[in-house]
Amino acid sequence: MKYDGIMIGFGKAGKTLAGVLAKKGGKVALIEKSDRMYGGTCINVGCIPSKSLITSAEHAGCCSDGDFSKKADYYKSAVEEKRRVTSMLRKKNYDKLNDLEGVTIYDGIGHFLSATQVQVDQKDGSSVILEAEKIFINTGSEPVKPGIPGIENNPKVYNSESLMDEEKLPGHLILIGAGYIGMEFASMYRNFGSEVTVLQDGGNFLPREDRDVAEEIRHIMENRGIKFLLGAKTTSIDGGRVLYEKDGSSHEITGDAILIATGRRANTRELDAERAGITLTSRGAVQVDEYLKTDVPNIWAMGDVNGGPQFTFVSLDDYRIVLAQLEGKDRSRAGRVNVPYSVFMDTPLGRVGMTEAQAREKGIPVKVAKLPTAAVPKAQVLRKTDGFLKAMIHAETGKILGAALLCPEAYEMINLIKLAMDMDADYTVLRDQIYTHPTMTEAFNDLFAV
């Protein structure tokens, strides 16, 4: 079976590129091993389902009030709503491509036979060999499974994907890992009404953030009843019992569910990449250059699988980079700067650019602007006044170096700061802008009044 292009994986970059090439008259094969993953990680097991549950959790009522059985019933309905949303989006993604004449979808595991051939092992036990001069890898990532004794075949142990399908609300949720995924889940389940304890091997909480930002996040969460055990190294798990070492002694804690939130890794194990001459990094990702090309000039890797930032919006930009090459244009990762990210906790965090610590380490003369969330009228209206807004400004040029917004709607606001940075605008542009009222964005009038 010969095609103009083969997509291994139905993720954001792959599905978008497949659709565009087909509309241009190309003949494209799209391979996906799971009928529950049409559309990729974000739609099915990542951003969308987690944000659906987070939204439901925010409407669950105060975590310390109410009958737990009622909260458990509400949680079950929230999981059902999450399934409805993901199923609807999954079907839309499938139909959108399946309806295109130039796209053929193969359900099965795709793996390389050579630099131009991919074998698809289909669910019915049969195999088909596909051939193309251009092949695109978009197989995404999967949760990391650390080598902790007692994890395997333990019904009380979950990862970030499997826990979102659990219909029973845990009375006590133990999280192993205090990264961004862990913080979203800790906040979510506390809002649903679970008791939450977070264990982290290492005492530096959220090390990528400035200390004032990290400590404020921890303060907000502890005020809501989330417990942190930092410097706690998990040694083994026995059912719902977690054994750990802290301060030179052994301890244990018992929960109804244990979430392993220790990050995600590139999904390359089934690719047989070596048969195509593709190099993998030490972390198992597909090695690519600035144009997302592998060592093999006709094979590209897009999205989480290439070891870049694990965001669906970065995967979309990967698609733009590859499409530009196919159209004879010059676009690469070198031009991708000021990549923002958001953590959908309660209170949410929006981040872009340098931290204050990074700017000072580089010897940049930095002016720090800071504003309490409580000073923003819209925050008072929302009755969500925890946190603060912080921006780093070059003291000599007036250019914005970075920002950390720990406040309601930070995930929307951060995009405006990113745009100002991309446009190389002076901070006074945001300071002097006319904003609607009452909104969180108008806080920039006061934040940048430094």
Per-residue pLDDT reduced to its tens digit, 159-213: 999 999 999 999 999 999 999 999 999 999 999 999 999 999 988 999 999 999 9
Question: Residue 160's closest CA among 242, 46, 305, 315?
Answer: 46
Per-residue pLDDT reduced to its tens digit, 28-69: 999 999 999 999 999 999 999 999 999 999 998 655 567 899
**How many C-beta atoms lie closer than 10 Å to residue 333's C-beta?**
17
Angle at CA of residue 254, ends 252 and 256, nearest 5°: 160
Q: Which residues are CB-neighbours of 10 under 8 A, at least 6 positions away?
A: 30, 31, 32, 37, 38, 39, 40, 93, 105, 138
CATH topology of domain 157-262: FAD/NAD(P)-binding domain (3.50.50)
Domain boundaries along the sequence of the chain: 2-143+265-335, 157-262, 341-447
Please check the confidence at residue 126 and state whether its pLDDT lies above 80.
Answer: yes
**Which helix H or strand E contains 390, and what residues bound it?**
strand 388-394
Tokens encoding 8: 């291994």
Pairing of strands 2-3, 127-132: parallel
Output the pLDDT for position 299: 98
CATH-assigned architecture of domain 2-143+265-335: 3-Layer(bba) Sandwich (3.50)
In order, the DSSP letters of 96-153 are HHHTSTTEEEEEEEEEESSSSEEEEEETTS-EEEEEES-EEE---EEE-----TT-TT
Output the pLDDT for position 203: 87
287 burial class (0-12, 13-18, 19+ CB within 10 angstroms)? middle
Q: What is the 3-state secondary structure (H, E, C) of 366-377?
A: EEEEEEEHHHCH
Please check the confidence at residue 25 and state whether its pLDDT lies above 90.
Answer: yes
Can you give the pTM of this predicted structure?
0.95
**How many C-beta atoms lie closer than 10 Å to residue 372's C-beta?**
15
Would you say 442 and 435 are in contact if contact means Cβ atoms under 8 Å apart?
A: yes
Output the pLDDT for position 34: 95
Per-residue pLDDT reduced to its tens digit, 355-399: 999 999 999 999 999 999 999 999 999 999 999 999 999 999 999
Euclidean distance between CA atoms 209 and 178, whole angstroms: 13
Hey, do 2-143+265-335 and 157-262 end up sharing a CATH topology, with the first three levels equal?
Answer: yes
**Cis peptide before 49, with omega less than 30 degrees from 0?**
no
Per-residue pLDDT reduced to its tens digit, 391-444: 999 999 999 999 999 999 999 999 999 999 999 999 999 999 999 999 999 999
Question: Residue 167's closest CA among 95, 79, 252, 104?
Answer: 79
How far are the Cα atoms of 96, 112, 150, 169, 235 from residue 155, in angstroms, in the given order? 37, 35, 10, 14, 18
CATH number of 341-447: 3.30.390.30
Report the pLDDT averaged over residues 93-121.
98
Active site positions, annotated: 437
